[in-house]
Amino acid sequence: MLMSILMTIDGRPGRRRRWGIYVLLGAVAVASVGEAMMVVAVPWFVLQTTGSVAQTGILVALGAVASGAVGFVSGPLVDRWGFRATAVLSYAVGGIGAACIPVMHALEMLNFPVLAALVVAANVLDIPASAAVTGLVPELSADADMPLERGNALLGGVHQVAQLCGPPLGGAAVALFGVADVLLVDAAACLLAALLILGCIAAGRAAAPGARAAGAYLAELRSGLRTLREHRLLRAMAVSGTAFNGLDSGLAGVVLVTYAYQHLGSAAGLGVLLTAFGLGAVAGTVGYAVAGHRLGARRVYLGSGFAVALSIGALAALPSLAVGAVLLALLGAFAAPVGPLRTGVFQRSVPREQYGRVAAAVDTAGLVAVPLGASLTVVLVGAVGLRPTIVALACAYLLVVCGCWAAPALRGMRADR
């Protein structure tokens, strides 16, 4: 089946290039669903085999810390190896790491240190993979005569649908087939994604211009950070994006859970809220994919942030489940364009030979903001209560948006014409 797909797409070089963006989206979709299923499978596997909640928490934390640490220092490798090679390697390593967990367990060779190493291996190249995939989008979109905004929005939509569908599928698959089979499915999905990118995306177009450049590794890393620091637009987008990530983590990981527990009285209510947000985000992404290239980038960025702040503020009324679900759906739709838009700014503004190191640094900063934002929100809820915390989050969002509005650098944002 795979070979027939390759033959169909590779019939002519021009056709192969035009199909490249769709192959990339398909590969990312397959891998993302598998990875989302693994979010359920790994903690369940650890609990099933060790019975220890503490060890489960340690493994989840190890995966996140390793991903962030490696992500920060791996940017120059993305630029040296090229986007295609990095994406293939990242998916392959993740798939092999996931496959080894049930295999080693079946061979009775899986102790806790080995399990920890395999979980780290399955997650360690997540940030390089993200940088490589977004680095592939501009040329593949251009080859398909697709606006860059649409390519980025479709990529974001693929991730959103995977996050919406993957965990329920993972839970159902664990119940029906067992956790080992789910881990093998994730491994197969990642390896299939690697094969699709390797076989269907032209190597010459996907290689970064700086992939063969010589130079000290630390010097390359510093040059990427220098570009991020000295370019006012990139710096403003990185700082505001990191702030939004921290606030989002406090909302999703703390506020919504507390709201569902204290005022809705049901875990099912939390599921409804998160599903509503996911559906709204998909709808907003589709809308941006259709019309984003016709809209002013600065207007969309500021308008989305302002609308999100108002939606969060409305949650302070602690409404019923039906009203809360509507608010979360609107919030998801309003927030959806921000990620693709920000990615497009980096794709246009960062020198191509430095894209990997800059994107990896920005993604790492966003990852670090997640536990910090959640921790601060927990403290705030404990100190002043839920309603004042929601108001504080909305005000913080507005403050970031006002800072972006006042920043002269953001006047350099533009849509592709």
Please identify, in words, the CATH class of the domain defined by 2-214: mainly alpha
Is residue 9 scored above 60 in pLDDT? no
How far CA 319 is from CA of 86, 181, 273, 277, 371, in Å, comes to 46, 41, 12, 16, 27
Looking at domain 222-412, its CATH superfamily turns out to be MFS general substrate transporter like domains (1.20.1250.20)
Q: What angle, 0 to 180 degrees and rounded to 10, lies between the N-to-C axes of helices 355-384 and 338-349? A: 150
For the stretch 37-81, pLDDT in tens is: 888 888 888 888 877 777 777 887 787 788 888 888 888 889 888
pLDDT at 31: 94
For the stretch 158-204, pLDDT in tens is: 988 998 888 888 888 888 888 899 999 999 999 999 999 998 887 65
For the stretch 357-414, pLDDT in tens is: 999 889 888 888 888 888 899 999 989 999 999 999 999 999 999 999 988 888 767 6
Q: Report residue 13 as tokens.
A: 């070089």
For the stretch 266-304, pLDDT in tens is: 778 888 898 899 999 999 999 888 887 778 888 899 999
Compute the distance between CA of residue 349 and CA of residue 207 in angstroms, rounded to an integer.
18
Q: Which of 296, 285, 390 is nearest to 332 (CA)?
A: 285
Compute the distance between CA of residue 59 and CA of residue 51 in angstroms, rounded to an integer.
13
Is residue 28 scored above 70 in pLDDT? yes
- Left if phi > 0, otherwise alpha if psi is -120 to 50, otherwise beta: which for 110? beta
3-state helix, strand, coil in the chain (%, to 5): 90, 0, 10
In the block, which residue shows the tokens 């979109």?
141
Residue range(s) in the chain whose domain bears CATH number 1.20.1250.20? 2-214, 222-412
Regarding predicted confidence, which is higher, 3 or 268?
268
Beta-strand runs (E) in 124-215? none
Compute the distance between CA of residue 171 and CA of residue 178 in angstroms, rounded to an integer.
10
In the block, which residue shows the tokens 């849509």?
415
Compute the distance between CA of residue 221 and CA of residue 356 in angstroms, rounded to an integer.
10
Question: What rounded mean pLDDT belongs to the chain?
Answer: 86
Burial of 3 (C-beta count, 10 Å sphere; 0-12/13-18/19+): exposed
Compute the distance between CA of residue 44 and CA of residue 394 in angstroms, rounded to an integer.
35
Q: Report residue 274 as tokens.
A: 């998160």
pLDDT at 102: 92
Q: Which of 169, 179, 178, 175 is nearest to 43 (CA)?
A: 179
